[in-house]
Amino acid sequence: MLLPELQSLAASLGISGTARMRKGELISAITERQGGGAATGTPRPRAEVAAAAALAREEVHAEVRESGERPEAESRPAEQPAAGGTTGRARGRRARAASEASEARAEARPGGAEAGDRAERGDRAERGDRAERGDRAERGDRAERGDRAERGDRAERGDRAERGDRAERGDRAERGDRAERGDRAERGDRAERGDRAERGDRAERGDRAERGDRAERGDRAERGDRAERGQRDNDGDEENEGGGRRGRRSRFRDRRRGRGDRVDGGDGGREPQVSEDDVLVPVAGIIDVLDNYAFVRTTGYLAGPNDVYVSMSQIKRYGLRRGDAITGAVRAAREGEQRRDKYNPLVRLDTINGMEPEEAKRRPEFYRLTPLYPQERLRLESEPHILTTRVIDLVMPIGKGQRALIVSPPKAGKTMVLQAIANAITHNNPECHLMVVLVDERPEEVTDMQRSVKGEVIAATFDRPPQDHTTVAELAIERAKRLVELGHDVVVLLDSVTRLGRSYNLAAPASGRIMSGGIDSTALYPPKRFLGAARNIENGGSLTILATALVETGSMADTVIFEEFKGTGNAELKLDRKIADKRTFPAIDIHPSGTRKEEILLAPEELAIVHKLRKVLHSLDSQAALDLLLDRLKQSRTNIEFLMQIAKSTPGE
């Protein structure tokens, strides 16, 4: 019987304090009460005694059947299957025999008192409980030890083996029950811990497998990404191949695959590949090399929507320089295909400045060429009625490689002077490449220059940002340098260097050192570099620059800019606003105008006559000198004829 049933039975017998009693104590108290109450207690009805006996018998039979039907694998050791089954059946037979004997004794005492029935029931309950405890203890001991089949009283010995040194104590039954419950709890705890350990192990193995799978997938993605993007710079490879946390993060941050291969460092990414079914479209333009990439400006010298992207690896492979004119091919978009790149990349390079790419690698660098004074004259005289160029030839002769400043106040006719010089160069010196660079000019003047000059006109009007002005000027002068490297003669007309200095002052970052007029100390270096490119190259090639400079504008900044550039030129042509106000053109002030080392450009006989002419003109003021010169020029068809007249009319020294 279980402890609650014993407690209820003891309560029915009138035993108090059963809640604090152990199972053994309850059995002893019930036995004593049944033994003592047989003489003094009131007899119970026979039907109640029979019902209690039947209940005890059914409980014993149920326990025996349960022990017989329970699978042997749960409680019996593997090496003793037969012994456990035989013991269970023997125990069941003993329990049934005890029950039948108890019934026989109860029937033999028909006039017995209630105490006899109680004793019989207590005896049955005790024997049933002992059988139950023995069976459970035997099964638990059999599951743990597996070697108890040969022992005699398995219930008692199993209880002793389980409890260790508790065999001498009198509460074996109760402690056996506790041991059974503890064993169950221990087995449950072990099973739970085992289940947890198994789940933890599975989770750990799953986590490891997942991490391994992620690492493998990441490694595959990295290798595929590297294979697609090509060879990167060494620093990027070391960072990504190191397996570090930073490398793994940057591996998936790089989303530039197939997007024009524009990277912010290294060798500029891989070169685009061409397949057999791709349709190639020819392209031509000027290379504009920036910090880590380059573009082919296909619509001029400013950025446009049809520009072609060039990687830094292509720049290094072919030795491309800023200002190179190239021809090549780009991949045409397929029908229905949307281009992910903003600019189409260059897939094939055909020529560089009209040469093969391998031949272009052997060209010299511009700044390694030896500069000389101008030695070959550029004659500007063209038509008899065009007096502007005839006057310039007399007062400021220029040669190939000249660096001249045309100093002009506003409304003095500098634009007409530039147009006359440009047309004279294209007419008299067709071998020279003419470039007219207009910075921060009015749009109508740009149109007029394009229509009146046959050369190349590069312009950025005043309605564009200062960055465009500086970009146009830099790319134009770089283009001129590339032509000089090939041995060509280039003439650049810049209008004006003052506005170019203003643009650099606005576009360049502030250095913290401001000069008079609000001019930054670093803003005038790029315009000086522009003018400094003019030179006559030894053994062929020249770059001639004629730039206008604004004066008398009322701006301190313009005055500072002119003062900075006044000593850089080797020729100067001064225009006078007072002469222009009298409607005399060209409004050239003859006295301050002139050329350094003009004896190199002029023949000795011509130089002597020019000196005589200057002596005569310097005796007059600017207006009278110009009027006299223009009047004599109108009377002659050429400058040679005019100089011969001066030689005849002027006595020799």
Annotated binding site for ATP: 399-404, 411-416, 442
Alpha-carbon span 342 to 260, nearest angstrom: 8
- Binding-site residues, in ranges, read 399-404, 411-416, 442
> Residue 205: which region, alpha, beta or left (left: phi > 0; alpha: psi -120 to 50)?
alpha
Alpha-carbon span 331 to 349, nearest angstrom: 12
Place of tokens 């920036």: 290
Eight-class DSSP state of 364: P
Q: What is the dihedral of CA 179, 182, 183, 188, to 10 degrees?
A: 170
Question: Residue 117: how many CB atoms within 10 A of its CB?
Answer: 23
| Contacts with 311 (C-beta within 8 Å, 6 or more apart), sequence order | 261, 262, 267, 268, 269, 270, 271, 293, 294, 345, 346
Q: Are strands 588-595 and 571-575 parallel, antiparallel or unpaired?
A: antiparallel
Alpha-carbon span 546 to 378, nearest angstrom: 12
Alpha-carbon span 125 to 93, nearest angstrom: 16
SS3 432: coil
Alpha-carbon span 334 to 346, nearest angstrom: 16
Preceding amide of 586 cis, omega within 30: yes
Alpha-carbon span 397 to 377, nearest angstrom: 8
Helix or strand holding residue 417 (H, E): helix 414-428
Query: Which own/partner contact pairs does 21-25 have at CB distance under 8 Å and 24+ positions apart?
Result: 22/171, 22/174, 23/129, 23/171, 23/173, 23/174, 23/177, 24/170, 24/171, 24/172, 24/173, 24/174, 25/171, 25/174
Q: What is the dihedral of CA 98, 104, 106, 109, to 10 degrees?
A: -140
Eight-class DSSP state of 164: S
Alpha-carbon span 393 to 575, nearest angstrom: 15
Contact present, 27 and 129 (Cβ < 8 Å): yes
How distant, in Å, are the alpha carbons of 32, 46, 114, 391, 437 from that of 111? 21, 9, 9, 166, 143
Q: How are the residues of the chain apportioned to helix, strand and coil, as percentages rounded to the nearest 5?
A: 55, 15, 30
Residue 357's identity, in one-letter code, is P
Strands (E) located in 219-343: 280-289, 294-297, 308-310, 325-331
Contact present, 439 and 494 (Cβ < 8 Å): yes
Alpha-carbon span 606 to 308, nearest angstrom: 53
Phi, psi of 412 (to 5 degrees): -105, 0
Using only the alpha carbons of the chain, give its radius of gyration.
58
> Residue 539: which region, alpha, beta or left (left: phi > 0; alpha: psi -120 to 50)?
left
